[in-house]
Structure formats: C-alpha cells, structure tokens
Amino acid sequence: MAFWYHLQSGAITALQQAPTALPEQGFYWFDCTLDEDLAWVPAVESLSGLSIDELHLEDLANLQHPSHFDVGPGYTLLIIRSLSTKPLFDDNNRLSIKTRPAFFVLSDRLLVTYRSQDSKTFEALHHFIESGTIQTSKGVRFAVSDQFLKFKKQPKNAEEMLIQTVSGLIDRYLDIRAEISEKLDRWQRDLLNTRRRFEDWEALLFARNELIRLETVAEDQTDALSDWLDYHCKKSKSDSTIVLKAKDSLEHLERVSGLARRLGESTEAAVQLHFSATAHKTNEIVTVLTLLSAVFMPLTLFTGLFGMNFDDMPLLKSPHGFWIAGAMMVASSLGLVILIWRIRNKGTRK
C-alpha cells in the first residue's frame, strides 16, 4: 500500500498517482508499507534523479536493522525501530517488546517513509490528513493547516515532517512505561512476600532480558537521531522548531533508557532481597532446630547412661531412682533453656 501527498503552504493534497517531477513549492511525501518490498525504489529514483546506494538498499531490505543514520549521494537515510502493536505480555505472562523498522529517505523536496502496515503513528497521521481536522483535548477543532499532529502549524519542509513523525514513534515507548512498571512492581512484591512461593522465575528472567534490549534500542535511537540532528545543523541553518523537537525526542529516549535501567536494577535488587529473606528464614528455622537439639541433649545423655549394661549402677535398684533421674533430666533441660534465654537476651540488649 502506497500513498502520495503534496504538502505546501496552507494545503495538503492527496495524489492519485505518482508525480513525474518535484514540486516547485512545498514537498512530496511518499508513504509505503513493508509489504511493498522495494518496488517503489525505481519510481522514487526517477522522480528525484537520485540513485540509492546498493548498501542502503540492503539496509532497506533488512527488517532486523537497528536504528541508524547514514548519508547517501543527495539523500539521507534514517532508520528508527518503532514499537509493535502486539501485546507487551504473551500468554505465558512473559514480557515481549517487539519492534520493527521505520525507514526515512529524505532528499530535496521529497520524503519517503517505508514502514509496517499496522503502525499506529502512521495510521493517526493518515487519519489527520484525510479527515482535514484535529480534535484537541479542549474540544477545539483546528484545520490541518493550523495544527499538524503535535505541531501548532503545518510542517514547512520535509525535515520538519520527518522529525515530527519520528517523535510520534518515540513517544509510543513512553506509553508502555506504566504497564511494564506495574507488572514488575507486582513481581517485586511477590518476591518479598514470604508467605507464598514465587513461581514466575522464567517470566522474570525474560523481563530482565527484554529491559536490557529496550535500553539498547533506546540507545541506538539516541545515536541515530543525534547524528541526524548534527548533520541537519551542519548542512543548513538550523530551524528552531526542528531542533527543539529533536531535543525533546532525545530527552524522551533518555527517559526510556533510564527507566529500563532503573527497572532492571530494582528487579535485581528485589531478587537479591528475596534470596536474603529466604536465607534469613532458613537461618531462623535452623536456629530453632538447634535450640531444640540442645534442650534434648541432656535427656539423651541421661537415657544413654541408664541404658548401659552394668550390674551395679547408682539409683538403678533404688525405689526412687526413676523419679530422681527424671527430676535431674528436667532440671538440666530447664537450666539449659534459661541459659540460652539469658544469652539471647543479652545479645539483643547490646
């Protein structure tokens, strides 16, 4: 599925077929989905007079390519990993952050976007363009020429359109923070709950690995967007709107990266606290068993002594021997209990 649009001052026109020449005013936006493969390349090259490098064509065909920025003869290539629309947690309660590439080929008066078909950002973009109006949170409706997505005005050039779309793709990562944080907080509470056994170890391991991957994706996007911004500022006089939007997106990426790092660290800390609590509980059980063993040691000693096979032993033939031996056993056990209690109380007071 492919779309052609002509954006110029105060107007956005949907084209029914591919144009044959670049516009004198404004710029063209060509949007196509990944299921088109690279069938669009000859038409774009014919329109712009460019020749896309073979290595860049390989990059465009690689759906696993990380976020990246590169410069070609007369154009630039920006790759941003966008968030998939699939649920964050699968049927096995495992975190699965799936991404796919969104390619931006930018040249003079032409912006080409090559992305997945079910992208929510591009779906909203087409909806806004085709509906012609935008409903704001305050209930005020603006024409497309007055407000374009998050801009207060229609983009003046292709660079402004690119950074706005990239910002929309990056902002989707901010939307998943609450769901991931809530799930990990629940797991951390379960880890520290000593009354029930934690059983989601596999899901927790998957979540830790996915958080590491999310941090890597955010760092790659930061590098790609920073390189694009540096190139844009060096190539021409920087537009304050573009620079501010790019810096805002970079700040959002830093927040995503920082969140992934903090959640990973807090998860590891919760795991360590879980094992520490388990070890402490085990030590308490061992302590109780040791005290019980110490209390019964005198009883075992007396029973062993009176179980010896001697003909003559004290108290053995006495009619009160049993009661005397029993009293000695109880007294020794009580004395040992009092001694242990005093030692433990003395350590507690210190």
pLDDT at 132: 56
> pLDDT, tens digit, for every residue of 57-95?
999 999 999 999 999 999 999 999 998 888 888 777 888
> pLDDT, tens digit, for every residue of 194-253?
777 777 777 888 888 888 888 999 999 999 999 999 988 887 666 778 888 889 999 999
Mean pLDDT (the chain, rounded): 82
Distance CA 159, CA 241 (A): 10
In the sheet that 2-8 helps form, which strands lie side by side, from edge to edge?
A: 11-15, 2-8, 27-33, 110-115, 99-107, 75-83, 68-72
pLDDT at 104: 96
Long-range pairs, 54-58, Cβ under 8 A, ≥24 = none
* Residue 336, CA atoms < 13 Å, CB-side half-sphere: 16
pLDDT at 131: 65
Percent of the chain with pLDDT over 70: 90
What's at 320, amino acid-wise?
H
- SS3 breakdown of the chain: % helix, strand, coil, rounded to 5? 55, 15, 30
- Please state the φ and ψ torsions of residue 182, each to the nearest 5 degrees: -65, -40
Residues 6 or more apart whose CB falls under 8 angstroms from that of 58 comprise none
pLDDT at 75: 92
> pLDDT, tens digit, for every residue of 269-306?
777 777 777 787 788 788 888 878 877 887 788 788 77
Q: Which residues of 180-194 are buried (b: 16+ CB within 10 A; e: fewer)?
A: beebbeebbebbeee
What's at 54, amino acid-wise?
E
pLDDT at 61: 92
Q: How many CB atoms lie within 10 A of CB 48?
A: 21
Distance CA 67, CA 220 (A): 5
133 Cα distance to chain centroid:
34
pLDDT at 142: 43
- Among residues 49, 50, 52, 27, which one has the least CA distance to residue 38? 52
pTM: 0.74
